[in-house]
Amino acid sequence: MSGTKQGFWSIVRREIVRMQSRPLYGLSMIFAPLFCFVFFTSLMREGLPESLPAGVVDEDNTPVSRSILRNLDSYQQTEIIRQYSSFAEAREAMQKNEIYGFFYIPKGTQEKASSQEQPKISIYTNATYLIPSSLLYRDMKTMATMASAAVGREVLLAKGASMDQAMGFLQPIKMDMRPLGNPWLNYNVYLSNTMLPAVLALMILMVTCFSIHTELKDGTSREWLSMSGDNILKAVSAKLFPQTMVFSLMALIYLVILYGWLSFPHHNGFWPMFAAAELLILASQGFAVFMASAIPSLRWSLSLCTLWGVLSIPISGFSFPVMGMPAPLQALSYMFPLRYYFLIYVDQALNGIPLVYSAWYYVAMMAFIILPLVDISLLRKAAHEYTYLP
Amino acid sequence: MWVKNLLDVCGKELRRTLSDVGVLVFFIIVPLLYPLLYAYLYSREVVREVPVVVVDECRSATSREFLRKSDATADLKIVSYCSDMEEARNLMHRHKAYGVIHVPAEFERTLSEGRQATINLYCDMSGLLYYKAMLSGCTIVSLDMNRDIQMQRLSGLSDWEKEAMTMPIENEYVTMFNPTNGFQTFLIPAVLILVLQQTLVLGVAMLAGTENERRRSGALVLGQEYGNPIVVLAGKGLAYLLVYGFTATYVLCFVPWLFHMPQLWQLPTLVAFVVPFLLASIFFAICISFFVRDRESCFLLFVFVSVPLIFMSGISWPTSNMPAFWKVFAQLFPSTHGVNGFARINTAGALLQDVRTESITLWIQSGVYFMLSLLIYERLYRSDKMPGAEFILNIRTHVRKNLRVAVRDVEEVRQDLKEKAGKLRNRGKQEPN
């Protein structure tokens, strides 16, 4: 203890040396986030999946069924790759993952058509794979309706109706869907905007907790604390300061990737999202310090931080809305910094509404930063007395 | 003789595993609780009664019928009638509603003139499920009303309309294997498989990290404790397989049963598929555990990997639309094939022959990761040292050396081409003369 320098900056310098001494820090603070940034944005670079493989089954095999097949024009997102001879064969292809869906024209279609009954096409999709299944359904439904309308429209037009009248009869009420903020239904926008900060937040939670508790484990915590003049707040903030800088750089990188390079919607400009990202970093650090102080065991506090980081991904509600979750989990979702980040993103980047609507979310994130004040004295005590148990 | 050794190693490893609370957390507690939490999170499968607001500028009987019927669907719930779009937007901003149904003033008139009338739907895109709910709710209502309107007109009616009525082809939609199009049925099988692989990786890495710490402190000398590397590896593998026999049964059979998810598997298929998956995961875990220096670093190294891994499996973003590089990269992990196989066996009732590709790949992975572990272990056993930093350094110098050679080669080829191009150019200049 004697001979070591005191003060904020000497702890910062000490921490930088510690971080450089182990490749683990570089791997988890720089490599892991960067890998995920590149992975997610490149994985879904198409935005919306195109040419999803689908099939057809024509068990009727008559002029009528063949004319239906001819009218199933391909759409951008659907590609009919094969015709199967039976329903069973198509189902097997689906189970083998060759196709995500198929059209089925049953036997007797022509007979029905000629006896003035309505023939029916069935659309089957494999909802085990939810995204391709939903997209195929949308396309295949349109294809089937268009094929049907094509037949009806021809008759109407031949009888002297105008195009306007024909459509007015075939489909009197039409829906005009206007998706706000993401009119392309781009999955990259939908997922990456939350996935990238989620991975960063997960790493922050773990690294923060790990780096504090290794001081205890390695028995260096007394030295660390004495450098701050026994001021635990100073000790912790100086220790985390260089990490905050590295994570801020990472945040800057993903913001530039998302809003600069890929030009995802950011209707209120760069700064509201930059502020949200900075707050997410500080809030995650705050939460991790809170956990590290509350539980004086590296393994258990690290386990809880990990659980929190992983759980924040589904519970932030970006893939499955929070309103659809059971009530206890809805309440729990307020305990996750990422939830607020997601809400800010929706307001500020996707929908671009006035900042005042998101004010409370920013405030909530700030609350996480001061959360450690509750129990940090426990950490001070532990730093003095703790001995590591594996 | 070697059988006795094998059982000996297996027993020792089992004791080591069961007496280490940290490892037990990964092998037992996480697989026990985490799937329950996840399944509970998605237990409602879909979102129902998405709150929407209405701007009805038409205020006719037809528009009111449309709105009433939309409100009655399971998908939507009208929470407010607004006088204009401004008011509706305000409610959207305050997250009181996730969509606006806007009926234009001329709706009824257009309809009575026999032309196509439009209803505008504005949808918040913060979640695709809002979009889906709105689209499917309103589409059901419009199809229903369209039919009514056609019937009304037919009672008045000209021949050509009647004829057209009988012509159109109807269509129906069947979602196979996941009847409610639910999130739980779709995502949980993937999560279950991933939980198995990742807890194995974390637990085995923690054991290796502990061993390493003991070795550094001098408490463990390798040569004395271990015998033939093949026997040691096989013994360890057997021990983990025994533990995971129970864990996997609970995770893959009990959890889906508890949450009433589709379970179409047949026992022989399930067993024949899960065994190679567990073997591949075990030796994959042993293989990468050699690079872990201490107990707790496994968290920082391996937890985040779960997130990209679930996407690599293709359960969410379709494999058919992945960039080739990631498709190949994904082949390295047992979870990719595990998720694809198990999802289809469990949810779509696939048989072993339907998941042949996946199960063969898993057997190959088991073999390759076993051999790879053996290779690393052999070095370790002989040198009584972890390959850790030194191993990576060796690889690095090797790669650097090869890179230097490669760069030199490329340079040579470039020079060569330059010369050839120069010659050609000269010849080109000479010929016209």
Which CA distances in Å does A332 have to A70, A91, A195, A317? 53, 41, 20, 12
Of A24, A52, A156, the CB nearest to B164: A156
CA–CA separation, B10 and B28 (whole Å): 18
Q: What are phi and psi of B137, to 5 degrees?
A: -60, -50
- Residue A363's Cβ-count burial label (10 Å; 0-12, 13-18, 19+) is exposed
Interface of B with A in 30-89 (CB under 8 A): 37-38, 40-44, 46-48, 50, 66
Q: Report pLDDT for B115.
A: 86
Strands A120-126 and A101-105: antiparallel
For the beta carbon of residue A298, count every other beta carbon within 10 angstroms. 25
Q: In what order do the strands lie in the sheet with B117-124?
A: A173-180, B117-124, B99-103, B50-56, B76-82
User: Across the strands, what pairs with B99?
Assistant: B123
- In percent, how much of chain A has pLDDT > 70? 93
Average pLDDT for runs of 10 along chain B of length 433: 80 89 90 92 88 94 94 93 93 93 93 89 90 87 84 66 57 78 87 95 91 74 60 89 94 92 90 96 92 85 93 88 92 94 90 91 95 81 53 64 78 85 77 52
Query: Is A179 within 8 Å of chain B by CB?
Result: yes
Of A137, A145, A190, the CB nearest to B128: A190
Domain ranges, residue B299: 2-42+182-386
Number of domains, chain B: 2
Of B169, B183, B213, the CB nearest to A119: B169
Last residue of a domain, one of B166, B198, B232: B166
Residues B255 and B283 in one domain: yes
Q: Is B81 left (phi over 0), alpha (psi -120 to 50) or beta?
A: beta
Cβ proximity of B372 and B391 under 8 Å: no
CB contact under 8 Å between A303 and B25, yes or no, is: yes
Query: Is A1 within 8 Å of chain B by CB?
Result: no
DSSP A109: H
Q: Report pLDDT for A261.
A: 93
What is the CATH classification number for the domain harbouring B161? 3.40.1710.10
Cβ proximity of B141 and B69 under 8 Å: yes
Query: Is A331 within 8 Å of chain B by CB?
Result: no
Cβ proximity of A199 and B307 under 8 Å: yes
CB contact under 8 Å between B170 and A118, yes or no, is: yes
Which residue of chain A has the CA closest to B96? A323
CB contact under 8 Å between B22 and A149, yes or no, is: no
Residues B159 and B187 in one domain: no
Residues B375 and B271 in one domain: yes
Q: Which residues in chain B have their CB less than 8 angstroms from residue A128's CB?
A: 177-178, 185-186, 189, 343-344, 347-348
Interface test mutation site (partner B, options A35, A128, A134, max chain B beta carbons within 10 A): A128
Q: Look at residue B394 and tell me if it is in a domain.
A: no
User: Across the strands, what pairs with A52?
Assistant: A78
Q: Look at residue B171 and tell me if it is in a domain.
A: no
Cβ proximity of A322 and A240 under 8 Å: no
Residues B239 and B327 in one domain: yes
What number of residues does chain A have? 390
Q: Look at residue B95 and tell me if it is in a domain.
A: yes
∠ CA B348-B349-B352 to the nearest 5 degrees? 120
Q: What are phi and psi of A209, to 5 degrees?
A: -65, -45
Q: How many angstroms separate the most distant Cα atoms in chain B?
A: 98
Distance from CA of B35 to the nearest CA of A (A): 11
Cβ proximity of B205 and B302 under 8 Å: yes
Which CA distances in Å does B424 have to B31, B79, B428, B432, B433? 69, 78, 6, 13, 15
Average pLDDT for runs of 10 along chain A of length 390: 70 92 91 95 88 88 77 74 89 87 85 72 86 83 73 70 77 85 87 95 96 90 89 93 96 95 92 96 96 90 93 92 92 95 94 92 95 91 75
Q: Look at residue B399 and tell me if it is in a domain.
A: no
- Residue A236's Cβ-count burial label (10 Å; 0-12, 13-18, 19+) is buried
Of A96, A187, A202, the CB nearest to B304: A202
For the beta carbon of residue B190, count every other beta carbon within 10 angstroms. 23
CA–CA separation, A171 and A168 (whole Å): 6
Angle between the N-to-C axes of helices B356-383 and B334-347, in degrees from 0 to 180, rounded to the nearest 10: 150
Per-residue buried b or exposed e for B9-37, using 16+ beta carbons within 10 Å of the residue's own CB: bbebbbeebeebebbebbbbebbbebbee
Residues B69 and B157 in one domain: yes
What number of residues does chain B have? 433
CA–CA separation, A31 and B433 (whole Å): 61
Q: Is the dihedral of CA B23, B28, B34, B35 positive or negative?
A: positive
In the three-class reduction of DSSP (H, G, I as helix; E, B as strand; rest coil), residue A228 is classed as: coil
Last residue of a domain, one of B136, B166, B196: B166
Last residue of a domain, one of B105, B136, B166: B166
Distance of CA B227 to the CA centre of its chain: 40
Q: Report pLDDT for A330.
A: 94
Of A43, A172, A206, the CB nearest to B111: A172
Interface of A with B in 117-176 (CB under 8 A): 117-134, 137-138, 141, 144-145, 147-149, 151-152, 155-156, 159-161, 164-165, 167-176
Q: Look at residue B422 and tell me if it is in a domain.
A: no
Q: Report pLDDT for B170.
A: 72
Which CA distances in Å does B407 have to B168, B403, B412, B413, B421? 67, 6, 9, 10, 21
Distance from CA of B369 to the nearest CA of A (A): 23
Q: Look at residue B255 and tell me if it is in a domain.
A: yes
Cβ proximity of B18 and B24 under 8 Å: yes
Residues B199 and B285 in one domain: yes
Residue type, B374: L
CA–CA separation, B25 and B18 (whole Å): 10
Residues B24 and B127 in one domain: no
Q: In sequence order, which residues have a C-beta less than 8 Å from that of residue B411 and are 6 or more positions away?
A: none
Token pair in block for residue B128 = 């695709």
Interface of A with B in 27-66 (CB under 8 A): 27-28, 32, 35-36, 39-40, 42-46, 49-53
Query: Is B126 within 8 Å of chain A by CB?
Result: yes
DSSP string covering A296-328: --HHHHHHHHHHHHHHHHHHTTSSS-GGGS-HH
DSSP string covering B228-246: -HHHHHHHHHHHHHHHHHH
Residues B144 and B273 in one domain: no
Interface test mutation site (partner A, options B171, B174, B298, B393, max chain A beta carbons within 10 A): B171
Q: Which residues in chain B have their CB less than 8 angstroms from residue A354's CB?
A: 93
Cβ proximity of A369 and A236 under 8 Å: no
Which residue of chain B has the CA closest to A172? B116
Which residue of chain A has the CA closest to B25? A303
| Residue labelled with tokens 């609970």 | B250
DSSP string covering B311-374: HHTTSSS-GGGS-HHHHHHHTT-HHHHHHHHHHHHHHS---GGGGHHHHHHHHHHHHHHHHHHH
Residues B142 and B186 in one domain: no
Q: Report pLDDT for B142.
A: 87
Which residue of chain A has the CA closest to B308? A36
CA–CA separation, B145 and B70 (whole Å): 11
Residues B19 and B161 in one domain: no
CB contact under 8 Å between A171 and B120, yes or no, is: no
Residues B353 and B216 in one domain: yes
Q: Look at residue B96 and tell me if it is in a domain.
A: yes
For the beta carbon of residue A104, count every other beta carbon within 10 angstroms. 21
A-B Cβ pairs (cutoff 8 Å, strict): 333
Q: Look at residue B233 and tell me if it is in a domain.
A: yes
Query: Is A384 within 8 Å of chain B by CB?
Result: no
Residues B186 and B277 in one domain: yes
Q: Which of B325, B286, B330, B287 is nearest to B305 (CA)?
A: B330
Which residue of chain B has the CA closest to A327? B41
